[in-house]
Structure 1
Amino acid sequence: MKITIAGVGAMGGRYALMLSRAGNDVDGIDGWADNVNAINEHGLQANFDGEQVVAKIKAYEQTKIDPSAVADLVILFPKSMQLDGMMQSLKPVITDHTKILCLMNGIGHEEIIEKYVTRDNIFIGNTMWTAGMEGPGKLKLFGSGSVALRNVEDGEAATAAAKKIVKLLSDAGLNAEYSDNILYTIYKKATVNGTMNGLCTILDCNMSEFGSTSTAEDMVVAIVKEFSAVAAKEGIDLNVPDTVDYIKTTWDPNTIGHHYPSMHQDLITNHRLTEIDYINGVIDRRGKKYGIPTPYCTFLTQLVHAKEQLLHAK
């Protein structure tokens, strides 16, 4: 299958590498010229669970996509604020038959994607893999993970296409599953991002270090309650104690606890703007819409934006 990874950062790089190693024809598209050049010159390099590996893929700058590189499947990993621009750039390689799988952090991306493709070609999901970037074209990948996805539009053809994508990802070792309740799954993953990303960024720590503090659980409970209240207005039952327990598993130093979340990598390490408006910021906006107070999500969004300004993030 011809697969295009849109956004070959840490997580996009993991998917590109694993899908390529499984024998698929993989292209990468990214807005970072140094990253694209490094991939083309040296391959996509990774410390993959302690083993040094290289995947030879073709990479394109976002503004220089080869229109002949038509994709059967596009997997979206740009930053949320870059999604509209990325979809514009992808138009030359998208046909009426191209499937679009969005595995980005945050909530509501399908509203942007459907401006460019029909809903029966849109698939949404979330991934619980971790990934880190050590420089242009260089990844650090460790631990295990999973991915869940579903078709946006109901129907036998769309469901069959979703299950074909599930098999493709699982054959590459990405532990995929089809989920009828994907909005619940996306909200549940968003609570991990809504706690670990912003809090570890502001506190400049990894997840295990955060979990070791005496105030960690209280902060997580308060944020999850706000996510749960907003989700309930959308018909999603997000159980607070179960979700908190789920988040606490990320604190284990023997699994992924030493991981610095992607927002920390973006802002603290690379002084790049974050996706906070599409994670905690969504809960702030929807809370206002539904008349639900969300003081923790609102304050955390403000703190991250203040940190962006202090670090002159771009």
Structure 2
Amino acid sequence: MKIAVIGAGAMGLRYGILLQEVGNDVDFVEPWAPSYQAICKQGGVQVSRDHQNQHLVPVDVYRPDEYTQTPDLVILFTKQMQSEEAMVACRHFIGEKTYVLTNQNGIGSVDVIRRYVPNERIIAGIALIATVLDAPGKVDFMGAKGAGHTQLVNVTEKPDDFTDEVVREFERAGMNPTLQTNYLGTLWGKLLMNSVINTLCTLMDITMGEYVAYSGADDLSRRLIDEGYAAGVADGVRFMQSREEMLQIIDHESSQVNPLHHPSMYQDMVNGRPTEVDYINGHIVKTAKKHGLEAKSHEMLVNLLHLAESAKQLKMAH
């Protein structure tokens, strides 16, 4: 399969390199100049697993304006706030049969993608795979080989032959995909988890394991889950987990799967990059208000996160 990955950050690199390892023809299209330059200078990407066995993986990388091939599949893995700019810069190589896949954190990118690609050729979903970008062109795959899993879902909720082919390639790459047919339910499940783990771990400068080890963690999680669940149900979301099941997923992912991991929002914060809080907790707040509801806990977290971002920027400026 011919694949173009837009965005050579932590997750874009992991997806692209894993798919390349099993024989797919993968190109990286990188709008971020420091990453593009680092990969070109190195002749590839420095890859580690759990901080060990760093080695160079040769890859092909292009700037958006110099990429002219027409891939079968585009994987969009920029940050949510960069989705519009990325799609504008890359729309020239999206062909009439090209599918676009996104497993970005938060909700919002599909609304951008569908301005350039019909719903029938959009595959969304979620990633439960921990990865850290140590520096431009330098990535650390967290967890043993084959660890983590993905969920893929057609925006139309109607899988087709090409989607089945994508699922097979994800399976061969050890990404443990599950094909779902509940679009919003799939995305909102990860949204609720991120709205708890990403935001609180970032604000408190702690790992996922440290969060769930706190005696009051379940009460905090329940409060955020309840607000998110109410907003989603009002918006027509058919949740795939009950509130208690969602709590159990958060506990399991944090205590058993990635207890030592700092979520991606934390990584953005410490590196002075804008976070995606507006597309996670902020999306819950916006959805609640649309239906005359309140999500006060999520609203407070959005404000606190932006305060922390502002304080970080001031420190970096001085």
State the TM-score bracket (shorter-chain normalisation). Answer: over 0.9
Query: Does 1:13 pair with 2:10?
Result: no
1: distance between equivalents of 2:79 and 2:108? Answer: 13
Q: Which amino acid aligns with 2:31?
A: G
- Bigger drift between 74-83 and 105-114 goes to 105-114
Mapped partners of 1:225, 1:31: distance in 2: 38
Structure 1 counterpart of 2:162: 161
Q: What secondary structure, in the 3-state scheme, does the structure 2 residue paired with 1:311 have?
A: helix
Q: Could you say what secondary structure the match of 1:70 adopts?
A: coil
Q: Which residue of 2 aligns with 1:299?
A: 300
Report the Cα distance in structure 1 between the residues aligned to 2:41 and 2:22, rounded to whole angstroms: 21
* TM-score, structure 2 as length reference: 0.92
Query: How far apart in 1 are the matches of 2:108 and 2:181?
Result: 17
**Which position in structure 2 is the counterpart of 1:182?**
183
Amino acid at match of 2:161: A
After TM superposition, list the pairs within 5 Å mapping 1:1-314 onto structure 2.
1-42=1-42, 43-49=44-50, 50-62=52-64, 64-66=65-67, 68-143=68-143, 144-153=147-156, 159-233=160-234, 234-237=236-239, 238-252=241-255, 255-267=257-269, 269-312=270-313
Q: Residue by residue, what CA displacement relative to the aligned partner does 1:47-80 show, whole Å, maximum 9, x if unpaired?
A: 1254334321111234x332x2221111111111
Measure how far apart 1:303 and its partner are.
0.7
Deviations 1:96-150 (A, max 9, x none): 1111001111124222111011121111111111100111111111221111112
Answer whether contact 2:46 2:56 (CA < 8 A) is retained: yes
Question: Letter of the aligned partner of 1:60 in structure 2?
Answer: Y
Q: Is the 8 A contact 1:148 1:182 kept in 2?
A: no
Q: CA deviation at 1:261?
A: 0.4
| Counterparts of 1:183 and 1:141, CA distance in 2 | 28
Instruction: Say whether the 8 Å CA contact 1:21–1:55 is kept in structure 2.
Output: no
Are the counterparts in 2 of residues 29 and 65 from structure 1 also a CA contact under 8 Å?
no
SS at 2:163 equivalent: helix
Contact 2:87-2:113 within 8 A present in 1 as well: yes
Q: Is the 8 A contact 2:124 2:153 kept in 1?
A: yes
Render the CA deviation track for 1:142-172: whole Å, top value 9, x for unaligned.
Answer: 22111111222355xx522211111111111
- Give the superposed CA RMSD: 1.7
% same residue: 32
In the alignment, structure 2 segments of 5+ residues that lack a partner are: none
TM-score scaled by length of structure 1: 0.93
1:113 & 1:264 partners in 2: Cα distance?
Answer: 26
For the residue of structure 2 that corresponds to 1:198, the secondary structure is helix
1:72-101 Cα distance to aligned partner (Å, 9 max, x none): 111111111111111101112111111100
8 A contact 1:20–1:55 mirrored in 2: no
1:178 partner SS? strand
Q: Distance in 2 between matches of 1:108 and 1:16?
A: 22
Kindly state the Cα deviation for residue 231 of structure 1 after the two structures are TM-superposed: 1.6
Structure 1 residue 208 displacement after superposition: 0.9
Give the Cα–Cα distance (whole angstroms) in 1 for the partners of residues 66 and 221 of structure 2: 42
Q: Match of 1:153, as an amino acid?
A: T
